[in-house]
Amino acid sequence: MPVLDYQTAFHLAPVGLVLSRERTIQDCNEPLAVIFGYSRAALLGQSFQLLYPSADEFERMGERISPIMSAQGSYADDRIMKRANGELFWCHVTGRSLELTQPHAAGVWTFEDLSATRRVTVELTPREREIAAQLATGKTSKQIGRTLEISPRTVDVYRARLMRKYGSTNTTELLQRLLRH
């Protein structure tokens, strides 16, 4: 019978796993490399920025995660990420900080590819991707505005842009298309 230890479990986990330090990949498993289309060796020592559609989104997400991780010790969301070939895809990300006072100092992260059930079918700006991710969780314009530190009216403007891009006539239809595509 094979020996089952923590390192074996880490490498055989059915989801992408990362051990991080200051938002840099210290170790990861093969499923993570497959999800993002890199070799495992190419990811080691790299900033998480490599996995984001833009440097701006990487920075804003880090700022948003920090207070939540400090308060709760963990963070989870669905967001649009980027593969090595440039393809954008929906990904469920969950993380746990090892130090509440320094949320990015060290952590454990999981990444689950949602592209089989949710597709990125239209080209979106970084802010539209953020708004779409927040809408998909069922948040109101006011809640999204607080989370992203923008006005609810600005959220409504972006929601209208998303509705045009997805060819939807109301928010319910937009949500169905975001979650189905």
Percent of the chain surpassing pLDDT 70:
97
- My answer on whether 109 and 172 are in the same domain is no
Measured between alpha carbons, how far is residue 99 from residues 63, 150, 168 in Å? 16, 29, 43
Which residue bears the tokens 């809408």? Answer: 135
pLDDT greater than 90 at residue 108 = yes
pLDDT reading at 20 higher than 90: yes
Record the tokens describing residue 32, joined without a space.
């993570």
Convert the pLDDT of each residue in 21-65 to its tens digit.
999 999 999 999 999 999 999 999 999 999 999 999 999 999 989
- Please identify, among 113, 141, 162, the residue that sits at the C-terminal boundary of a domain: 113
Supply 60's token pair. 């804003």
The residue-averaged pLDDT of 122-138 equals 83
Q: How far is CA 42 from the centre of its chain?
A: 20
What whole-number distance in Å separates Cα of residue 44 and Cα of residue 90?
22
- The mean per-residue pLDDT over the stretch 110-133 comes to 84
Query: 37 and 75 share a domain?
Result: yes
- Tell me: do 65 and 135 sit in the same domain: no
pLDDT band, residue 3 (cuts 50/70/90): low
Question: How many C-beta atoms surround the C-beta of residue 19 within 10 A?
Answer: 15
Average pLDDT of the residues of the chain: 89
Instruction: Judge whether 106 lies within some domain.
Output: yes
The answer to whether 40 and 25 are in contact (CB under 8 A) is no
* Domain-terminating residue out of 113, 134, 156: 113
Q: Which domain holds residue 158?
A: 126-180
Check whether residue 141 and residue 98 sit in a common domain.
no
Q: Could you tell me if 132 and 103 lie in one domain? A: no
CATH of residue 166's domain is 1.10.10.10
DSSP secondary-structure letter at 142? Answer: H
- Pick the last residue of a domain from 56, 86, 113: 113
In this structure, the answer to whether residues 16 and 88 fall within a common structural domain is yes
99, pLDDT greater than 80: yes
CA distances from 36 to 23, 43, 55, 81 (A): 16, 10, 17, 9
| pTM passes above 0.85 | no
Across 50-54, 64-68, 71-75, 122-126, the highest mean pLDDT is recorded for: 50-54
Candidates 14, 15, 12, 10; CA nearest to 26 is 10
Question: What is the number of domains present in the chain?
Answer: 2
* In-domain check, residue 119: no
